[in-house]
Structure 1
Amino acid sequence: MSDEAPSPSSWSMRGLKRWLTTAPETRDELIRLVHDSRQFLEPDTVDMLEGVLDLPATQVREIMTPRPQVIGLHESASLPEVMDIILEAAHSRYPVFDSQDDDAVIGILLAKDLIPILVMMVRNQEDKIDSKRLRDLVRQPLYISESARSDTLLRSLQSTQVHMAVVVDDFGNFAGVVTMEDLLEEIVGDIVDEHDDFDEDSDINNIIPHPEKLDTWCVQAATVIEDCNDELGSHFDDAEVDTMGGLVMQALGYVSDLEGESVTIDDWKITITDVEGRFIRLLELTKVPETEVITNPLP
């Protein structure tokens, strides 16, 4: 008989085997089992398993890039215009819109598919792509409803062997795009590549204390309301809108001359500090002292 003491890892494996002697019968039991397995498994492994199990409960609208933030191309764009957008955005895929209808996506352009055109341009001194040729370059889009489950999206992307889908709302209107990377980030967390701006893409930096003002935070408009509530202890309602920018737009009720406008929601004063066109980019949230909170009188 060996006198060597069993290693901690062997105790963990024995405990895990005993833990799994009774198979879970429902999804909730399986989720609870995975959550409670942190005493046996590495935290990253548990987080990944929980991410996989959460896919059926996650709708596409929760992980997609919404329409205001989508960088796309128009089929009538010249080659210099297309290249300027690609060089600035540094994405690998772009939805291409019908030149007469911004809601109609004719296909997805892969940046690498422009290489033969660039070679042709160099050889023949051509300087633009006409609409027919750009239309010929795009690939057939995959459409999916914004209310579809994320696991359904995953199976669709796998079966069609594409990495980007066009998201439509209940009326068939263009609502945004969603990628395989979006799905993977739901499972493994943020994926930052060599083209990403870490400060912009990291969830941690969506909400930062104001460097000069007390009880004030700078919040990106695309921040999910639930994340803002968790971070700041606020209680903003996300029943009808998902993002902080959408919450402010809903409260204001108009879409022009937004910069500098303020609205008070619950006990927070929200000021729009940066806009791009009609779209809000950055907000400033200030906690209003209880003595200054105005309660609407009953009619």
Structure 2
Amino acid sequence: MSDDNSGTASWSMRGLKRWLNTAPETRDELIKLVQDSHQFLEPDTVDMLEGVLDLPATQVREIMTPRPQVEGVREHDTLGDIMDMIMETNHSRYPVFDSQDDDAVIGILLAKDLIPLLVNTIRQEEGVDTSFRLKSLVRQPLYISETARSDTLLRSLQRTQVHMAVVVDEFGNMVGVVTMEDLLEEIVGDIVDEHDDFDEDSDINNIILHPEKPNTWIVQASTLIEDCNEELHTNFDDTDVDTMGGLVMQELGYVGDLEGEQVVTQGWNISILDVEGRFIKLLELTPVAEDLYNED
């Protein structure tokens, strides 16, 4: 049996050498080479190689957590408020917002940096430390453009030795956050830790059938347009915006009292079900009758 294995291995090595005989000259040729390597490499290895090669073509805004979904703390929050947030969300890092501006980030708080304070509080048996100052604990934020390449983000995170960056648009406004984990998931796939709810993290739950209305779907506004197109066989345009919420905002053309507003595009009626401030959270999608849609 060992001889058979040895023969198979030798054949594979000869085949691999012939396969690599012509070096790829372009990125597309290299990607094609990797995609054709299933006969020599494990599927997971091929997927990871493709993920690495895709990084330069992936913009930060495609992998970030958009602003409406960012969970953070305020500069003047008490230690008790912050601990409640940590217990509820179980993240290891939080952007710290200016108390006067919900979109201005003054730094990043690492949950582990609170441990010395908690230990001192327990030892002194004096309850919450009234001298607590959050600003003294936050770390300098790293800012990255939403249009930056993901490989640029990776180098920036490595250089600054941080694991979270604040994503800004062309005007310097915060539009989300992105982490080292987001980058790794582009390479190795979804990473689910001990605190993650698998069902909540599943992409399929971004689009669900309405429990009461026929032929109607409830869609999270953060859902990528390309995912919606694939799941519902729609043809929404993602040239200028990436998410379904962004598509609705583009169609409306203004920011006002959004809840209950509707748009009709590409044969679908899209209603806004839920908003938080000026951010859309939940949408309802229903196909429009073809004859009604063609009246326009």
TM-score normalised according to structure 2 size: 0.90
SS of equivalent residue, structure 1 residue 273:
strand
Look up the match of 1:138: 138
How far apart are residue 6 of structure 1 and its match?
7.4
SS of equivalent residue, structure 1 residue 280:
strand
SS of equivalent residue, structure 2 residue 48:
helix
How far apart are residue 121 of structure 1 and its match?
2.5
How far apart are residue 3 of structure 1 and its match?
8.8
SS of equivalent residue, structure 1 residue 194:
coil
Letter paired with 1:116: P
| Cα distance change, pair 120–14 in 1 and its aligned pair in 2 (3 A) | same
Range that drifts further, 266-275 or 203-212:
203-212
SS of equivalent residue, structure 1 residue 196:
coil
Q: Please say if residues 34 and 50 of structure 2, whose CA atoms lie closer than 8 Å, have aligned partners that are also in contact.
A: yes
| Cα distance change, pair 127–215 in 1 and its aligned pair in 2 (3 A) | same
| Cα distance change, pair 218–6 in 1 and its aligned pair in 2 (3 A) | farther
List gaps (5 residues or longer) in structure 1. none
Look up the match of 1:175: 175
Q: Please say if residues 77 and 129 of structure 1, whose CA atoms lie closer than 8 Å, have aligned partners that are also in contact.
A: no
How far apart are residue 197 of structure 1 and its match?
2.2
How far apart are residue 40 of structure 1 and its match?
2.9
Cα distance in 2, alignment partners of residues 161 and 81 from structure 1: 28
Whether 2:160 is the aligned partner of 1:160: answer yes
Cα distance in 2, alignment partners of residues 150 and 288 from structure 1: 38
Q: 1:215-266 CA deviation, whole Å, 9 max, x = no partner?
A: 3322211111111112222111112221101111222344454344332111
Cα distance in 2, alignment partners of residues 288 and 11 from structure 1: 59
| Cα distance change, pair 249–130 in 1 and its aligned pair in 2 (3 A) | farther
Look up the match of 1:274: 274
Letter paired with 1:43: P
Cα distance in 1, alignment partners of residues 282 and 9 from structure 2: 48
List gaps (5 residues or longer) in structure 2. none
SS of equivalent residue, structure 1 residue 264:
strand
Range that drifts further, 161-170 or 247-256:
247-256
Q: Please say if residues 224 and 244 of structure 2, whose CA atoms lie closer than 8 Å, have aligned partners that are also in contact.
A: yes
Look up the match of 1:234: 234
Whether 2:212 is the aligned partner of 1:207: answer no
The aligned length equals 294
Look up the match of 2:93: 93
Cα distance in 1, alignment partners of residues 48 and 101 from structure 2: 40
Cα distance in 2, alignment partners of residues 291 and 175 from structure 1: 39
SS of equivalent residue, structure 1 residue 269:
strand
Letter paired with 2:77: A
* 1:1-299 pair list within 5 angstroms: 4=4, 11-122=11-122, 123=124, 125-128=126-129, 133-296=133-296
How far apart are residue 11 of structure 1 and its match?
4.4
Cα distance in 2, alignment partners of residues 12 and 277 from structure 1: 59
SS of equivalent residue, structure 1 residue 186:
helix
Q: Please say if residues 66 and 222 of structure 2, whose CA atoms lie closer than 8 Å, have aligned partners that are also in contact.
A: no
Q: Please say if residues 190 and 202 of structure 1, whose CA atoms lie closer than 8 Å, have aligned partners that are also in contact.
A: no
SS of equivalent residue, structure 2 residue 199:
helix
How far apart are residue 129 of structure 1 and its match?
5.5
Q: Please say if residues 51 and 188 of structure 1, whose CA atoms lie closer than 8 Å, have aligned partners that are also in contact.
A: yes
